[in-house]
């Protein structure tokens, strides 16, 4: 086999092992999750939300300590166990031959991953951007909106702090007008909430 052909063969073999749907990390919890999902497939969303057996399977996919109550999944972005294991294995593999494995092997998986995420989301791959967490994703969107000086953004004083800071930064940089409304909770009237954002005075209903 010519040298170039051998290199191509080894490259394809390594790529298949790293990203195959049959790889061990991909299948680690797939069977249990499939069974659990099938068991609640006939239930409505409310019933699924209260099904402790189903959520216990989801819980086992994470390594969060059972000794504490974790209420912050957004800001710290805990990864499932299978993701942790994959990151560890890919990190070890990359360090065995950094320039080769990073660019010739792992980098080749980016577009197939976007294609898979697009199918999952029911969108085009061109609409998918891979970010490290929700905060980074929202900041990417906020800083990417083509605002002009004088454009107005209406937010709420109960928005996520990092999002408020992003809009404040755009006000400083680009001269947009960033206004905030507030509410006297509890507010059960959805129409009233929408109207509060639409009011020229930007004052929420009491």
**pLDDT for position 135:** 87
**pLDDT for position 80:** 87
Two tokens at 80?
């499932």
Check: pTM over 0.85? Answer yes or no. Answer: no
**pLDDT for position 14:** 44
Q: Per residue in 8-25, pLDDT tens?
A: 444 444 444 444 444 454
Q: How far is CA 186 from the centre of its chain?
A: 29
Q: Distance between CA atoms of 27 and 2, rounded to whole angstroms?
A: 36
Q: How far is CA 145 from the centre of its chain?
A: 20
Q: What is the mean pLDDT of residues 112-133?
A: 91
Average pLDDT, the chain: 82
Every domain of the chain and the residues it spans: 3-127, 145-198
Q: What is the mean pLDDT of residues 107-118?
A: 90
Q: What is the mean pLDDT of residues 104-117?
A: 89
Contact yes or no for 135/161 (Cβ under 8 A): no
Q: Where are the alpha helices (DSSP H) in 20-109?
A: 24-27, 30-39, 45-49, 52-60, 81-96, 98-100
């Amino acid at each position: 086999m010519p040298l170039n052909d051998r290199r191509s063969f080894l490259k394809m073999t390594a790529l298949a092992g790293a990203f195959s749907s049959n790889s061990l990390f991909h299948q680690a919890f797939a069977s249990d999750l499939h069974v659990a999902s099938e068991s609640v497939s006939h239930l409505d969303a409310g019933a699924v939300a209260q099904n402790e057996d189903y959520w216990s399977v989801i819980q086992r996919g994470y390594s969060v300590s059972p000794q504490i109550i974790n209420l912050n999944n957004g800001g710290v972005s805990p990864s499932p166990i299978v993701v942790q294991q994959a990151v560890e294995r890919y990190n070890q593999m990359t360090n065995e031959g950094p320039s080769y494995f990073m660019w010739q092997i792992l980098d080749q998986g980016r577009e197939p991953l976007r294609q898979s995420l697009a199918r999952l989301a029911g969108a085009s791959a061109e609409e998918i951007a891979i970010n490290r967490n929700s905060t980074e994703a929202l900041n990417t969107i906020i800083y990417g909106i083509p605002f002009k000086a004088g454009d107005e953004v209406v937010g709420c004083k109960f928005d996520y702090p990092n999002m408020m800071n992003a809009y404040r930064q755009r006000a400083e940089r680009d001269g947009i007008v960033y206004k905030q409304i507030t509410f006297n909770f509890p507010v059960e009237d959805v129409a009233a909430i929408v109207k509060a954002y639409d009011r020229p005075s930007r004052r929420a209903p009491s």
